[in-house]
Amino acid sequence: MALTSPISSLSYPNDLSTLLSAGGGGIGNTASSGKSNRTTIVMKSRSCNSKKKNSSLLSKIYPCSLILRPPPNTSFSSHFNLKCGKRDASVSNIFVSVASAADVLLDKALEQVLLPEGDTWSIHKFGGTCVGNSERIKNVAEIIVKDESERKLVVVSAMSKVTDMMYDLIHKAESRDDSYITALDAVLEKHKSTARDLIDGDDLASFLSQLHDDINNLKAMLRAIYIAGHATQSFSDFVVGHGELWSAQLLAAAVRKIGMDSNWMDTRKVLVVTPTSSDQVDPDYLESGKRLEKWYSENPSKTIIATGFIASTPQDIPTTLKRDGSDFSAAIMGALFRARQVTIWTDVDGVYSADPRKVSEAVILKKLSYQEAWEMSYFGANVLHPRTIIPVMRFDIPIVIRNIFNLSAPGTMICRLSVGENENGQKLESPVKGFATIDNLALVNVEGTGMAGVPGTASAIFGAVKDVGANVIMISQASSEHSVCFAVPEKEVKAVAEALESRFRQALDAGRLSQVAVIPNCSILAAVGQKMASTPGVSATLFNALAKANINVRAIAQGCSEYNITVVVRREDCIRALRAVHSRFYLSQTTIAMGIIGPGLIGSTLLDQLRDQAAVLKEKFNIDLRVMGITGSRKMLLSDKGIDLSRWRELQSEQGDKADLEKFVQHVHGKHFIPNTVLVDCTADSIVASHYYDWLRRGIHVITPNKKANSGPLEQYLKLRVLQRQSYTHYFYEATVGAGLPIISTLQGLLETGDKILCIEGIFSGTLSYIFNSFAGTRAFSEVVKEAKEAGYTEPDPRDDLSGTDVARKVIILAREAGLKLELSDIPIENLVPEPLRDITSAQEFLQQLPQFDQDLAKRRQEAEDSGEVLRYVGVVDVVNKRGTVELRRYKKEDPFAQLSGSDNIIAFTSERYKKQPLIVRGPGAGAEVTAGGVFSDILRLASYLGAPS
């Protein structure tokens, strides 16, 4: 029958065909009851004589009551005009209620079949993507057939996008949008074409016949919704559930086509649930068990294809299981059958230790406890909804998450784990199993001295929150009771704040409460793990990782179960915080992202050293060094996971982008999963050095042989060192003074242990050391300089070495380390470049004219030799008199400074402890290998500071 008048309320009986004759029913009989003042029309399905084995709900005879109740004091005949069997009829103010459906009488001759329970059953659940088209349904059917379990029940969702399409139908009908008709035709065509691709013969004919009947019924119901402009929740649930009905029938037929007998189950006949006020449902396991036994006695089968998502209320009204309903269906069925295992098939390989979209090196977890899965799902991880876990948890039935598109992946098993054991019975390496985040939150902080010791304050706070329907994600309260802090979704925080200010207006005005503060732009980071319970140091490790990544924690919460530690951070810090803690617990303790600036002689040598040693460091010392970027002055090479150092020259040439220092730094610091970042400046560029302060402020460690920052303007240097000491970032520059020699660290060690430095004297230039070690006998100074240049000891222009400026910078660095506040201009320098040659443009011309000035240095050498001495070019830090000098000095031949060879450096520390005999550091002081080695040593020192084994 068609309804053409407005309907003020409408609900439906158990069998849709008894509601609307347009769907194929006819009036069987009518009866009236004076007691209830209602007229009952019992209708019978058009397909009541179906003899098919797998007949659906609509293909059986179900006596059912349709109650048409006229308004008070109005007779039925005067109020209703029903034209049965015709397409149009007018009905006004129909109130429809449901009478309990009479049980289908079983054939007395039917043999009762007992429902087998236990390990012989395995439960499978396939989501919408798994049955998205005919090809995927075939794949599912093959998986079912290959399962060697004695008995199996398969729960199936609607085909991909179909549930959304069904909701869209309801929305269009409620909006009185005629396009719901064409939209329903699209649903019909989707399933018709799938069926024709998938099955044939009687199964195809039966399915298409049932499909057309269902579509006709839906058209009539949607027409009623269109007229009323509203659909009850029951109507919506009934319409939406058809997607599962159709996919279950298709899959059952596909399984039969392969050669395995199977029945399909409309779970509305079996699962009984009670809706709750919180938009959830509570399963009635006792009643569901009885109905399952009854269903199985009628349809005994070793392979059952069941609909997911849908169920019935105790009044036999179709409903749904709400969020993650298909998973919930599978878990309930697993509990009812006491099954061996429930397998949830999806499109991911299992449960990850963190969101792989945010942490690219997240790992698949082989096992999770029920509680761990529960905690992670609450915080948004891609695992089961907590209600899915409850039914199987009662009977210790494991749930396995598998990827239907990657059958080789073993997936994740969720089960009861013994404390402290993993799947091999060995001790777990990490107490934290996984990390999850929730974004778009705000913190609400209610504080005031008037809260302390006042009963009911927390109740009043959260009562006000409840009144506005907000969801509290996390609560934190100090033991002083001075403040209560909690997190709510950001979209709800305005209403929450207004409700609290209204509720506590008197207390705020009186000063008992100081404020209701809102902190927006927050995210929650949760660490979850069963082994966290009673394991000392987990929290310390977590917060240490956050601190080293320069992350500020705004609030903290931990339950007494110790399965979860929750922190609130700024939204913009969330991904970096997630990567930091994940790296700390899952990667090496010292996974470091590196950016190499200046792949020249020293930089390229360092990269080659990293290439040769990286694997050994990772294997033996758990130090994971990853070069994420290399930049020169013209081109840069970037990588998301680490550059292949065996090919970096080739890759930079072929794939390098135009150099952009800021873009380079952003990539190395934030475009990957590694929380610890170090920039290694292998240039001698003052512009690059000027960025150190900003890099350290952003939490980036800096290592360099570049002397420009520490010997530059004093004010900038002092500002840099203050920042370094106040932050968790490290600034290492050992190679700025003695290449690979431990000069800076030795000086710092003396000072930190309370020694007082009196004087630092040294040959700091490997180039000048070589020159004056070779400047002996009758050799000319210009000849030795030329030899040093040809051997690669000098800069391209030897005047850069001979000027003494480089030595003066090293003197300034050491002087400042010793506490002197000197500028480079305060250091008197003896320049070895003859004054007439200082302004010559060409280095080649300089070398050609240098012999003209050999006589002066030859004379000084001779004077020294006549006194049993040698010439050495030295830098001196006179700490007592607070000054420094760079000059050519004479030393006795037995002095350590006179006994050097090659390009060796030597530094003598005279202190209160080492007054009679200075502490001497001696060794190679020049060459790319040595300098790069000094930088590499600083990198390893950084790794040690970050937690690497010593």
Residues belonging to the active site: 810
Rounded CA-CA distance 407/413 in Å is 15
Q: Beta strand 564-570 with 515-528: parallel, antiparallel or unpaired?
A: antiparallel
DSSP notation for 898-947: GS--TTEEEEEEEESTTSSS-EEEEEE--SHHHHHHHHHHHHHHHHHHTT
Cα radius of gyration (the chain): 41
Contact indicator for 811, 884 with CB cutoff of 8 Å: yes
CA angle 33, 39, 44 (to 5 degrees): 115
CA-to-CA separations, 444 to 465, 484, 802, in angstroms, rounded = 11, 8, 66
Rounded CA-CA distance 284/335 in Å is 12
Q: Beta strand 701-703 with 731-732: parallel, antiparallel or unpaired?
A: parallel
Rounded CA-CA distance 560/534 in Å is 10
Sign, Cα dihedral of 529, 533, 534, 538: positive
Rounded CA-CA distance 158/309 in Å is 9
CA angle 24, 263, 119 (to 5 degrees): 145
Rounded CA-CA distance 285/933 in Å is 70
Rounded CA-CA distance 319/795 in Å is 83
Rounded CA-CA distance 770/927 in Å is 12
Rounded CA-CA distance 520/572 in Å is 12
Q: Which two tokens stand for residue 53?
A: 């084995």
Task: List, in order, residues 6 or more apart from 111 with CB less than 8 Å away.
Answer: none
Q: Beta strand 96-98 with 65-68: parallel, antiparallel or unpaired?
A: antiparallel
Contact indicator for 411, 352 with CB cutoff of 8 Å: no
Q: Which stretches of 591-713 are DSSP H helices?
A: 601-621, 648-655, 661-670, 686-689, 692-697
Rounded CA-CA distance 347/343 in Å is 13
Task: Identify the residue whose tokens are 């008992």.
Answer: 512
Q: Which two tokens stand for residue 921?
A: 């550091």
3-class SS string, 381-397: CCCCCHHHHHHHHCCCC
Q: Which stretches of 11-133 are DSSP H helices?
A: 76-79
Task: List, in order, residues 6 or more apart from 212 with CB less than 8 Å away.
Answer: 188
CA-to-CA separations, 156 to 236, 251, 325, 349, in angstroms, rounded = 20, 8, 11, 19
What values do phi and psi take at 51, rounded to 5?
-105, 5
